[in-house]
Amino acid sequence: MASHRGFGLVEALIGLLVLTLGLLAVLRAQPEWRRQAEVARQRSEALRLAQAELERLRAAPAAPMPGESLIDDPASSTAYRLQREVDGGSWPGIVSLTVTATWTDHGGQPQQVRLPTLRATLDPVLAGVAVLPR
């Protein structure tokens, strides 16, 4: 019995050491997790802005024009640049639209989200003519 004296205390100290090392590892990783969460939030916001621009272009009755716009996000002081690319020469009756959202994250790294789609150039009033019998 004398050889087991203090063994519970040693086990408790080893357990406390393992717990402390685990907590230190989590504390060291937390700033990177925050940075990644901020980049994910910015990417999500850029995707939302690009989708809204793409839907606006697809819903416009006139043929869209290429261009660029700058959107400032007051919540995070991030400026998003939306660039519209229009290619109407690839296929007859179809326009290729691409919206690219670019921004610079807090680490100074350039980021971008690119959304391509196709749009018919037929007048919406005449869209049903294609399915009428001859």
Is there a domain that residue 46 lies in? yes
Q: Identify the sign of the CA torsion 44, 119, 60, 62.
A: positive
51: its two tokens? 């989708």
Q: Cα 26–28–33 angle (5° rounding)? A: 75
Give per-residue pLDDT as tens, 39-93. 899 999 999 999 998 888 888 766 677 676 777 666 667 889 888 888 876 677 7
Residue span of the structural domain in which 14 resides: 2-124
- Assign 2 a pLDDT band (cuts: 50, 70, 90): low
Kindly tell me if the per-residue pLDDT of 132 is higher than 60: yes
3 state SS of 102: strand
Kindly tell me if the per-residue pLDDT of 125 is higher than 70: no
Between strands 110-120 and 78-91, the pairing is unpaired
Query: What's residue 63's pLDDT?
Result: 67
pTM tops 0.75 = no
Burial of residue 127 (CB within 10 Å: 0-12, 13-18, 19+) is exposed
Query: What's residue 16's pLDDT?
Result: 93
The phi, psi pair for 46, rounded to 5°, reads -65, -40
If one counts the domains in the chain, the total is 1
Give per-residue pLDDT as tens, 14-40. 999 999 999 999 889 898 999 889 889
Is there a domain that residue 134 lies in? no
